[in-house]
Amino acid sequence: MENTNFFLEFLQLMAGIGIFLTGCEMMSSNLEAVCSDKLRELLAKVSNNKIVGVLIGTVATIAINSSGATTVMAIGFVNAHIISLKQAATIIFGAEIGTTLTGQLVALGMMGNDGIDLNFLFSALAGIGVFVTMFAKKDKIKLFGFVLTGFGLLFAGLDMMSGAMTGFAKSPALKEVIASLNSSLLLIICGAILTAIIQSSTAITSISISMAAVGLITISQGIYLTLGANVGTCLTGILAGMKSDGVNAKRTSLIQLIFNIGGVVLVYIIDTIMKMVTGGGLSFGIIFERMFPGVPHTQLAMFHTIFNIASVIIVLPLTEKLVELTESLIKDEPPEEKKERFYYVDENIITSTPSIAVEQIKQEIVNMANIAIQNFNISMDMIKTLNFERQQELDDNEKQLNFLNIELVELIIKLGQSKKLNKEDTRYLSSTYKTIADLERIGDYAQNISVYAKELGEDKFNDVIVNEMEIMRTLINKLYLEIMSSYKNDKHKVSKQIKDLFENVLALSNIMVKKYIKRLNDHELTSVSSGEYLKICNDTKRISEHLINIIDTDYVSTH
């Protein structure tokens, strides 16, 4: 009978863990969708001020309820050269503080008196959230409903885990086995392994709090399980660092590992010394029992919070030294031959923090536009000078454009399948396919112009024609700058300035075509150069049309 009860309680524990993790994931994904715009603004404010970095890491983790996602996000940003290694370090420090909020909420849910069960009340939010999602018409309100549901499921799972722990606490044999686990080092290892398996330090910390609340483990055992969870959570960052090509991404994951292990080692040493000096009369467990008497769940939650805050306070002044240490341990890789790659997108962000990945996609597209217009200018230089020294640069750029045209689209398709994106992000992603195709076509036209330059041979255009083409080049570059300014600021309407520049390009192109016959009769153009002349007139016009398409795909067809 006892074995049957134990098995049922174990099943209840597994069910509780499943519901708890589902609630965490539901909260995290929907909070991210709700807060995505604000989160981007927050991350854009990362500065060299270390305290600001810590605050941003803390707030970002609270906003998306996941220190792992914040860490992966920081690794992606440093890999894309958006933030420095030092800035990434401070964000990770803040994430360690932000992740303690869930433990505090779990401890709060276990509080209650006079028959009031806060855990039960919080669980009821799952049902309220479901009703909100059923009847809400606005997407934002529906997302809020999902957040409430996730929050409620978190506590419903916790309630089931607590019930299972209460049953376990009635088993003298189990209590005896757990009591025998008095090795601090073994408990740290257990906490780290369990966290690495479940991929959630929050779950292990919450289980530890539940076990402490029913007396299944002592506060000291709970402390070391929690410390182990802090080490185990580094696995997410390590995997993200290993998958990234950038050396700074690997250094960022190493910073997190050193920071977390360093804090655990420091606590272990201090706790051991206190026990030795006082003959076991003083330890961190005893200190927190005295600070918060009679509430073991609060004792463990407060230790977790105070430990992480203290660790950040200690290590923050040493951030530069920590960065230098990682740089000495992970050397810069020798320069490789130029190859096609993403400059801003980190594939780890696609699954962990899709809302941030959307911003990275945008930056990658802006960079793609820069490469395309650079090739246009290189090819126009070739027309002007018939100098082909930059041919290799143009060819490398063209390979990069072709790479992005294929690989970036595949990533966008993958990102578009995420349920964590809000409607604005989804709408933006749907527009990127055409934008990428337009930029790739600009690159193709630039490549064509370089070919025309080669075909000219000795038939160089005269100064008058070259001057007209330089005016065309200037107009297209001005058009490009105005269009990209609008694109970066999410303004997808053709302004008067853009309209005027575009019409000037068309007018100049028409004038040049009209002069074609006269120039041919006046022998300004040879039989060879005349063909290239018309092709350049046509291709520069097409480039301006593809530029307009970046912000308004219907403008060219209606004008």
Name the average pLDDT for the chain. Answer: 83
For residue 500, being part of any structural domain is answered with yes
Distance separating alpha carbons of residues 404 and 342, to the nearest angstrom? 8
| 165 against 416, higher pLDDT | 416
Which among 418, 509, 433 has a CA at the least distance from the CA of 468? 509
Each residue of 63-119: pLDDT tens digit? 777 777 778 777 777 776 777 888 889 999 998 998 888 888 888 777 655 445 566
For residue 66, being part of any structural domain is answered with yes
Residue 1, pLDDT score = 41
Each residue of 368-385: pLDDT tens digit? 999 999 999 999 999 998
Same domain, 474 and 395: yes
Same domain, 396 and 541: yes
For residue 517, being part of any structural domain is answered with yes
Concatenate the DSSP letters of all residues of 306-373 into one string.
HHHHHHHHHHGGGHHHHHHHHHHHSPPPPPPPP----SS--HHHHHH-HHHHHHHHHHHHHHHHHHHH
Is 150 in contact with 196 (CB distance < 8 Å)? Answer: no
How many structural domains is the chain composed of? 2
Same domain, 359 and 414: yes
Same domain, 180 and 273: yes
Same domain, 136 and 174: yes
pLDDT at 514 over 50: yes
Concatenate the DSSP letters of all residues of 51-104 into one string.
HHHHHHHHHHHHHHT-HHHHHHHHHHHHHTTSS-HHHHHHHHHHHHHHTHHHHH
Residue 115, pLDDT score = 44
Each residue of 472-501: pLDDT tens digit? 999 999 999 999 999 988 877 888 899 999
Which among 234, 186, 177 has a CA at the least distance from the CA of 211? 177
Identify the domain containing residue 510 by its residue range.
347-558
For residue 334, being part of any structural domain is answered with no
Same domain, 374 and 322: no
Residue 282 has which token pair? 């003083």
Residue with tokens 């802006």: 366
Distance separating alpha carbons of residues 154 and 159, to the nearest angstrom? 9
For residue 341, being part of any structural domain is answered with no
Distance separating alpha carbons of residues 298 and 302, to the nearest angstrom? 6
Whole-prediction pTM? 0.72
Residue 536 has which token pair? 């350049």
Same domain, 131 and 81: yes
For residue 336, being part of any structural domain is answered with no
HSE at residue 363, side-chain half, CA atoms within 13 A, is 16
Domain boundary at 294, 329, 364, which?
Answer: 329
- CATH for 403: 1.20.58.220
Residue 407, pLDDT score = 92
Residue with tokens 């098995």: 7
Same domain, 274 and 375: no
Residue 50 has which token pair? 């270390």
Domain boundary at 265, 299, 329, which?
Answer: 329
Residue 42, pLDDT score = 65
Same domain, 225 and 299: yes
- The arithmetic mean of pLDDT across residues 511-515, rounded, is 86
Same domain, 131 and 191: yes
For residue 29, being part of any structural domain is answered with yes
Domain boundary at 298, 329, 360, which?
Answer: 329
Least confident stretch, 43-57, 156-170, 361-375, 436-450: 156-170
Residue 247 CB-density burial (10 A; 0-12 exposed, 13-18 middle, 19+ buried): middle
For residue 143, being part of any structural domain is answered with yes
**How many angstroms separate the Cα of 204 from the Cα of each of 19, 195, 197?**
14, 6, 10
- The arithmetic mean of pLDDT across residues 267-289, rounded, is 90
For residue 126, what is the enclosing H or E element?
Answer: helix 125-135
Same domain, 435 and 541: yes
HSE at residue 297, side-chain half, CA atoms within 13 A, is 21
Percent of the chain at pLDDT > 70 equals: 87
Instruction: Report DSSP state, residue 294.
Output: T
Same domain, 213 and 158: yes
